[in-house]
Amino acid sequence: MLPSDPAARHRAVAGAFTDLVTATRSWEGPAPVAGWVARDVVGHLVEWLPAFLAGGAAIELPTGPPVGEDPVGAWQTAYDAVQALLDDPATAGRTLSNPHIGDIPLDVAIDRFYTSDVFMHAWDLAAATGQLHELDADTCAEMLAGMEPMEEVMRGSGQYGPRVPVPDDASAQDRLLGFIGRDPSWATRA
């Protein structure tokens, strides 16, 4: 089970993602997300959070090199910036305001939306680059239990593909992957 503290959880999740990033040898391999290659997985994670934090908490994250030129450097800059933000004791007292989610503690917002996204996309990057990466089963089950009641809203957002059916006895990882629109056997077919 991953740590529950937002800073410690980000360190564990993004640290595992960093290992995948630094071990990547080809950034052009197709990813399980339609139309994406490995580089796009990193690009997605590096690019959406700064606007989310700037708009909701007036936080400007440092920018690294463009993902198209240096995906490793771009990811490392993003990882370091988010970790520094979560490690800052003042962050726990800050709030993020967003018209879709309301006002929530900043560290909780990063954990709920960003760290969870890094967690799920680690499988995409591993699959796109031929690496092995098992997602934490307890975290998969917890995330799925939290997402299933919101399935209609999530699918309506356009951020998730159609649910991919998996066997009733599928692992927690495969159930989560199927829920978010991934075929858990994609990596073995690629």
Q: At what angle do helices 6-23 and 116-129 cross, to 10 degrees?
A: 10
Q: Name the nearest CA neighbour of 31 among 41, 46, 16.
A: 41
User: pLDDT truncated to tens, each residue of the chain (190 aa)?
Assistant: 888 999 999 999 999 999 999 999 999 999 999 899 999 999 999 999 999 999 999 999 999 999 999 999 999 999 999 999 999 999 989 999 999 889 999 999 999 999 999 999 999 999 999 999 999 999 999 999 999 998 888 888 777 888 999 999 999 999 999 999 999 998 654 4
Q: Does 50 share its domain with 78?
A: yes
Domain encompassing residue 92 = 1-133
Q: Does 40 share its domain with 129?
A: yes
Q: Does 14 share its domain with 64?
A: yes
Q: Does 190 share its domain with 142?
A: yes
Here the CATH number for the domain that contains residue 117 is 1.20.120
Q: Does 27 share its domain with 78?
A: yes
Q: Does 55 share its domain with 117?
A: yes
Residue 12's pLDDT is what?
97
- Global confidence as pTM: 0.94
Could you say which of 133, 159, 182 is where a domain stops? 133
Using CA atoms, how far residue 141 sits from 73, 136, 145, 155, 179, in Å, is 32, 9, 6, 19, 11
Residue 133, token pair as written in the block: 């990466």
Could you say which of 96, 117, 133 is where a domain stops? 133
Domain total in the chain: 2
Count of H helices and E strands in the chain? Answer: 9, 2
Q: Does 51 share its domain with 78?
A: yes
Q: Does 39 share its domain with 111?
A: yes
Residue 190's pLDDT is what?
47
3-class DSSP assignment, residue 128: helix
| Contact indicator for 92, 105 with CB cutoff of 8 Å | yes
Q: Does 109 share its domain with 184?
A: no
The string of pLDDT tens digits covering residues 14-61 is 999 999 999 999 999 999 998 999 999 999 999 999 999 999 999 999
Residue 158's pLDDT is what?
77
Q: Does 75 share its domain with 56?
A: yes
